[in-house]
Structure 1
């Protein structure tokens, strides 16, 4: 007997009962970003592997362990994108979107892929919304990105359950000096480090700072502090960011061990974290990457951005019971028709209703059936009203309207008056989706 077909581990179907919440979340974010002047860009999910090696870094966990990489029929090494910034920067370079100092404020959404151990809130195919801004070197745009995410949390009703952590990584020059001091400190305590941190001392020592091993974290208490190595320009940039967040009333904490997992970050780094999701506490993270475009072959171009994990935020909305009640109902009206002639009339009437009320969510019964079976389907659909068209109604050119969620009496309405009746009946129902 053949093995049942199923999805790849860590790559999940998003089922019909789940998609209304996804659409609500995506729509809320898209409208917010439109309001801040960000424009959507769409990139391929497959890129040349070299893009991620050059941008993310050869010795990061993503490149070393997690990427889905394969050779295509031409022998080229291709990779399913593990994150969005590198693809966005590649598109900006390829199409000269930031040439001549052009300011670009972009956003994107879609699936990313990493071969990690699947667990709640962490999957091998996961979805992100990313935002990137180019040719804006000052702390004002860093602050804008953080302020708009703060506004999003308030819109979603989760602001009381997220915390903003901030740090500055400084410039590559100041970070290089700090790196030498940190390596010297860690090598003197090499035997006390966990195995993963011992490896990182030689490849990416700053990542030791965000080790999850409690013994390593205890060892880092007396380690050199990055902020002591920042140059004056980096200190001024970070002070400017904090001043703007203070003015906007956005609460934050300074986390000197926040370094992010990608090599291309510099200056500002930030994370929005929560204690509502167990181990997977980061729901949004980003920072500045002023050297990335030059690193990828372009001219030096300031860049800053963030990405938020959709799965984690959806889970958070569910956990905190912040799912809008109207999402449980996707149909306003269910149209029952009995007999061939009534079915034809119902089809025409339904299309006329859709013409007059484009936002009306109207489902016409398909597959025939008795009065009892059609009415059962109408009730199961969650609709507010059932329209009933049988031989008597067809002859009198009326439709019976039965409220399904109240005890109101059934009424008969003429075809000509049907659209206006529904418009008035649904007008006061805040749950109708416009």
Structure 2
């Protein structure tokens, strides 16, 4: 009877339903075997797609229908496995096995039951959580096509505070990504750039034909990051369709400004709340940064009193320290901050590994839904996740529009800026088409 128990419960593990076919309810056994066969086929199809067409698999896994199908499928198999295992125990004659054999067989099959059913149940939970998260963050809209073979995504780090009206994007970056290879370059724009031109046809191009702030503006300072505040608080009517399209008037104004500066068309944006960004870092378990010089953490709103220092060297920072590393202003310049922010961005991207995300998914999803707003369509996620996997395999380029690159933010030469941008955003698609 001990051997019988081992055989039946072992077969139940290898081919769920086979134990019932041999010694129990054959109808239940046939159902279990067929369901198991279908599961194996689905796994094989997924493995083939992961190699041959990963974007297709990722699209299924990021769509509402696909995620619900995955969740319901995994929940079904978790329940089926429990039913088949309990039934296999009853037909195996486990109670008539030797005491030692009974204990070992029961413990082994129970462990397998918990692992398999628990894994399937957790997978169903992750799928439903992911669906909720994706629906909260991403929008339902048509996919936009690449421009000259590239996707250009405006990344804004918003920093609201009690000492200012509304939010100002203190971190302004344009990520330009080759639509085929995933090769990416991050173009950093200083928040204090002046005389910003706006892309032709923009409502602000008519209001500021000689550049933003050439003859004053509607807020206290006329810098690049003030454009968001001015439009969002004072003239949102300039962009009446912004909210309906998953954006805001301030973001659309910034999009027009960055397009005017760089000469690149921008398909999408992502706004990151820098205060909430610390929650995202904590959900990842911290972020590893190589600190070149000690960076102070301030104890006052004027950024003059140092409370503690982030020491030089390789540091594993929690969200609080990572945020201060990006924001610190004591005895430093805006351009130093831009470099640290870019370093932090790249570090976070590198640590967003599949294993890290899956094991901490609930915390990451909860933090991200509070941190990120974007107009990237949910239907495009499969493509962009696949593209990001290519980007992760190669160095990310960088272009900072700062004095070190002969750019004066107070009196910028925008023709020169566009030449620099064009030099780092030549797409492989554009190269092939020109040939």
Q: Same fold judged by TM-score > 0.5?
A: no
More helix as a share of residues: 2
Question: Normalised by the size of structure 2, how large is the TM-score?
Answer: 0.24
More strand as a share of residues: 1
Question: Normalised by the size of structure 1, how large is the TM-score?
Answer: 0.24
